[in-house]
């Protein structure tokens, strides 16, 4: 089971600033441990919903670091809006976390 | 004329390189500082802190109690606020001076009934480990709750003072195949290993650099490491025998370092290159 994300969402003027920390090993499939290749394990899809509206859908690959940080700026949002962030990795594991814009 | 030119060139060669080197070093340092400040805003250490919080509140171990309802870090049972910045301190129930990590291990063993040897088997996160040991998460959680508070090691307590002085002695002790002491590198100003400037922990300004940023998230490998690990690794780098986990030796050194940093603000778990 994947670990919780840490999401911070605040209004900066009329733009919502969302920062999210994801706990993920992000193995790129090229590293070796005792001669054995460590199989790739990385986040492939990220989606961000603000106030019930899908605002970001993205694909990520193996060049993203372990425990990555993503930052987004979203227009047309207001304090109190619900932020739902989901990631799905190449092994089919996924995680969804929610917060409200402060 | 020709002579003057060659003297001129010789002078340039003699004088310029150290100057450019010093400037480059400062510039690199400044760039790195900028990077660190930016990263501190969303430090992955927070992920470990969240896990630590869960572990702190969860009923665990053979005795099925949580640390939140049994562990006293010096501010009362279950209180974490400000505890990290006020340790190492003397604990009457354990009859010893303890730093944060050693105290939490003590609580896990005495209050929750865990076996010390099990914890000591894998106390630090390794290079290829995708998750940190429970104890590292717990230390990160506790440390986060001293963010923005001044270090306040109770050096007026004779037992703590004693640990401080022992720590001071240890930093002077030269041994091992390189005949090093801690002070060889950390007892004078202006020393470095490769491009890393080394803090002089005998001064207040240096000591704060030494204790600041621990526990820290290391970007290389993406792992979380505690101050206990740092001191342990110093022994390894000195080619000393490594102390056993949560050893008194480490508490003594931490008392000395943290004591020297007293009164200065702790910025919480850090981020390392």
Which residues on neighbouring strands pair with residue B15, listed in sequence order?
none
Backbone angles phi, psi at B101, to 5 degrees: -65, -45
B242 — pLDDT class (breaks 50, 70, 90): confident
pLDDT at A18: 92
**B38 contacts in chain A (CB < 8 Å):** none
CA B164 – CA B259 distance, rounded (Å): 7
Instruction: Quote the mean pLDDT of chain B.
Output: 87
Coil/strand/helix, residue A3 = coil
pLDDT at B24: 64
> Does B10 have pLDDT greater than 50?
no
List chain A domain ranges: 6-100
State how far Cα A26 lies from the chain centre.
12
Three-class secondary structure assignment of B200-232? CCCCHHHHHHHHCCCCEEECCCCEEECHHHHHH
CA B57 – CA B268 distance, rounded (Å): 21
In which residue are the tokens 């250490």 written? B45
Of B44, B217, B216, B130, whose CA–CA distance to A22 is shortest? B44
pLDDT at B35: 77
Of B57, B222, B213, B269, whose CA–CA distance to A23 is shortest? B222
Contact A21 B42 (CB under 8 A): yes
Question: What single DSSP character describes residue B116?
Answer: H
CA A96 – CA B166 distance, rounded (Å): 50
A11 versus B7: the higher-pLDDT residue is: A11
Q: Which residues of A touch B (CB under 8 A)?
A: 3-4, 6, 8, 19, 21, 23, 25-26, 31, 33, 38, 65-67, 69, 71
Instruction: Quote the mean pLDDT of chain A.
Output: 91
| CB distance A63 to A55 below 8 Å | no
Helix (H) or strand (E) holding B17: helix B2-40
Residue of B nearest to A25 (CA): B130
Q: Which residues of A69-89 are buried (b: 16+ CB within 10 A; e: fewer)?
A: bbebebeebeeebebbbbbeb
Residues of chain A with pLDDT under 70: 1
In which residue are the tokens 């290829």 written? B128
B18 — pLDDT class (breaks 50, 70, 90): very low
> Does B11 have pLDDT greater than 60?
no
Query: Within an 8 Å CB–CB cutoff, is residue B157 touching chain A?
Result: no
Q: How far is B38 from chain A (nearest CA, A)?
A: 12
Residues B55 and B146 in one domain: yes
B9 — pLDDT class (breaks 50, 70, 90): very low
Q: How many domains does chain B have?
A: 2
B69 versus B35: the higher-pLDDT residue is: B69
The first and second tokens of residue B7, run together, are 């003297």
CA B222-B39-B142 angle, 5° bins: 70
Query: Within an 8 Å CB–CB cutoff, is residue B46 touching chain A?
Result: yes
**B13 vs B16, B20, B21, B26, B272, CA distance in Å?**
6, 11, 12, 21, 36
The first and second tokens of residue B61, run together, are 């171990």
CATH code for A6-100?
A: 2.60.40.10
Residues B144 and B238 in one domain: yes
Kindly state the greatest CA–CA separation across chain A: 53
B17 — pLDDT class (breaks 50, 70, 90): very low
B71 — pLDDT class (breaks 50, 70, 90): very high
State how far Cα B159 lies from the chain centre.
22
* Cis before B219 (ω within 30): no
The first and second tokens of residue B141, run together, are 């959680």
Query: Within an 8 Å CB–CB cutoff, is residue B47 touching chain A?
Result: yes
The residue-averaged pLDDT of B104-115 equals: 94
> Does B1 have pLDDT greater than 50?
no
Contact B47 A23 (CB under 8 A): yes
CA B47 – CA B53 distance, rounded (Å): 10
Residue of B nearest to A21 (CA): B44
* Cis before B88 (ω within 30): yes
Task: Provide the residue range defining the domain that includes B36.
Answer: 1-41
Interface ipTM: 0.82
In which residue are the tokens 């020709």 written? B2
Q: Which CATH number characterizes residue B172's domain?
A: 1.10.760.10
State how far Cα B77 lies from the chain centre.
25
Contacts of residue B20, defined as CB under 8 A and 6 or more positions apart, other chains included, come to none
pLDDT at A1: 53
| CB distance B267 to B147 below 8 Å | yes
Provide the 10 A C-beta neighbour count for residue B80.
22
Q: Is B234 a catalytic residue?
A: yes
| CB distance B144 to B137 below 8 Å | no
């Amino acid at each position: 089971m994947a670990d919780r994300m840490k999401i911070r969402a605040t209004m900066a003027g009329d733009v919502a600033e969302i920062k999210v920390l994801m706990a993920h090993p992000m193995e790129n499939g090229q590293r070796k441990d005792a001669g054995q290749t460590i199989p790739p394990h990385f986040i492939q899809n990220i989606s961000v919903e603000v106030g019930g509206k899908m605002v970001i859908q993205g694909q990520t690959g193996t060049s993203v670091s372990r425990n990555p940080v993503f930052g987004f700026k979203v227009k047309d949002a207001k304090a109190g809006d619900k932020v739902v962030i989901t990631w799905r990795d190449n092994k089919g594991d996924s995680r969804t976390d929610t917060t409200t814009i402060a | 004329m020709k002579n003057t030119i060659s003297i001129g060139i010789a002078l340039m060669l003699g004088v310029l390189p150290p100057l450019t080197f010093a400037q480059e070093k400062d510039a690199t340092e400044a760039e790195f500082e900028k990077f660190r400040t930016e990263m501190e805003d969303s430090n992955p250490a927070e992920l470990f802190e969240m896990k630590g919080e869960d572990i702190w509140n969860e009923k665990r171990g053979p005795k099925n109690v949580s640390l939140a309802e049994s562990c006293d870090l010096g501010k009362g049972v279950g209180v974490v606020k400000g505890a990290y910045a006020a340790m190492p301190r003397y604990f009457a129930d354990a009859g010893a001076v303890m730093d944060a990590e050693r105290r939490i291990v003590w609580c896990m063993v005495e209050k929750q009934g865990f076996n010390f040897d099990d914890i000591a088997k894998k106390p630090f996160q390794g290079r290829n480990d995708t998750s940190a040991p429970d104890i590292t998460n717990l230390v990160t959680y506790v440390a986060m709750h001293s963010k923005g508070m001044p270090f306040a090691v109770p050096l007026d307590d004779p037992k703590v003072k004693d640990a401080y002085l022992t720590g001071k002695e240890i930093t002077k002790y030269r041994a091992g195949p390189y005949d090093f002491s801690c002070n060889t590198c950390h007892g004078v100003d202006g020393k470095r290993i490769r491009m890393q400037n080394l803090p002089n922990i005998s001064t207040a300004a240096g000591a704060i650099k030494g204790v600041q940023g621990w526990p820290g998230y290391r970007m290389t490998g993406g792992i979380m490491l505690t101050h206990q690990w740092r001191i342990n690794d110093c022994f390894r780098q000195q080619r000393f025998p490594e102390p056993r986990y949560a050893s008194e030796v480490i508490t003594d050194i931490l008392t000395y370092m943290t004591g020297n940093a007293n009164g200065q603000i702790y910025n919480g778990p850090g981020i390392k290159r």
